[in-house]
Amino acid sequence: MTELTWSVSWETELADAAHGPLAALLARAYAGHAARFTDGRSWAGARPELRVVARDAATPVAHAGIVRRFLRALPAGPDVLVGDVGLVAVDPEHHHRGLGTALMARVVDVLVDLDVPFGFVSCGPDVEPFYRAAGWTRLPGVAVHLIDTHHRLRADTDPTMVHAAGRPLSAWPAAQVFARDGQLV
């Protein structure tokens, strides 16, 4: 493996031609959902606002998408601005070399640069240990009302992971239910 090149790209500044290789990476990483990423479609639900990508020469080998959005803490607020992170993927040929951890550290750096208070990820229980190992914290007993990739409303009790960016985690609202009024990234 040559030295990796990292980039941070806004969605409207990414060339059309970049999406095919990103979709191919996502299909490799999310092998059970590869059909979502056909025809150069490099997103599953919401399109990222910006993407953090590592490339080995020209080939993407790690990717994360970020959308800034407000979550509503229910029932009484406050709203909280987060960098909603998804499409976290490392090429299977590069797993367990610390690349995913490096990716998530870059995501936090980006959020700090953007002055976004917190990083936010909903993940499956199986990958919670990865986020924990990367320094993310699970919010215990939290449910998230969200719109899934099929545009259906869902109350999600999968692990909700957060990371301090522009603010300390002690500033995270104490609520047990959050509404994310937008599609999963």
Chain contacts with ligand COA (rule: CB under 6 A)? 29-30, 88-90, 95-101, 123, 126-127, 129-130, 133
**Closest to 112 (Cα-Cα) out of 72, 44, 184, 168:** 168
What 3-state DSSP class applies to 23? helix
Select 44 or 50, whichever has its Cβ closest to ligand COA. 44
Question: Which residue bears the tokens 């990083």?
Answer: 119
Select 120 or 172, whichever has its Cβ closest to ligand COA. 120
* Residue 93 beta carbon to ligand COA: minimum distance, rounded to whole angstroms: 10
Select 71 or 123, whichever has its Cβ closest to ligand COA. 123
Give the CA distances from residue 35 to residues 11, 26, 28, 38, 122, in Å, rounded to whole numbers and listed in that order: 22, 10, 11, 6, 21
Distance separating alpha carbons of residues 19 and 69, to the nearest angstrom:
23
Select 83 or 100, whichever has its Cβ closest to ligand COA. 100
Which residue's CB comes closest to ligand COA?
100
* Residue 18 beta carbon to ligand COA: minimum distance, rounded to whole angstroms: 19
* Residue 128 beta carbon to ligand COA: minimum distance, rounded to whole angstroms: 7
Select 33 or 115, whichever has its Cβ closest to ligand COA. 33
Amino acid identity of residue 164, one-letter, is A
* Residue 156 beta carbon to ligand COA: minimum distance, rounded to whole angstroms: 12
Give the CA distances from residue 129 to residues 8, 22, 45, 125, 174, in Å, rounded to whole numbers and listed in that order: 25, 25, 24, 8, 23
Give the CA distances from residue 72 to residues 79, 89, 125, 144, 171, in Å, rounded to whole numbers and listed in that order: 4, 27, 23, 10, 15
* Residue 183 beta carbon to ligand COA: minimum distance, rounded to whole angstroms: 15
